[in-house]
Amino acid sequence: LIPLFLIIGSGGVGAGLYLLRLATVNPDVSWDKKNNPEPWNKLAPTDQYKFYSVNVDYSKLKKDRPD
At residue 34 the predicted structure's pLDDT band, cuts being 50, 70 and 90, is confident
pLDDT given for residue 48 in this prediction: 63
Q: What average pLDDT does the structure give for the chain?
A: 79
pLDDT given for residue 33 in this prediction: 77
Contact 48, 36 (CB under 8 A): no
25-51 average pLDDT score: 73
Residue 12 has pLDDT above 90, yes or no: yes
pTM to 2 decimals?
Answer: 0.59
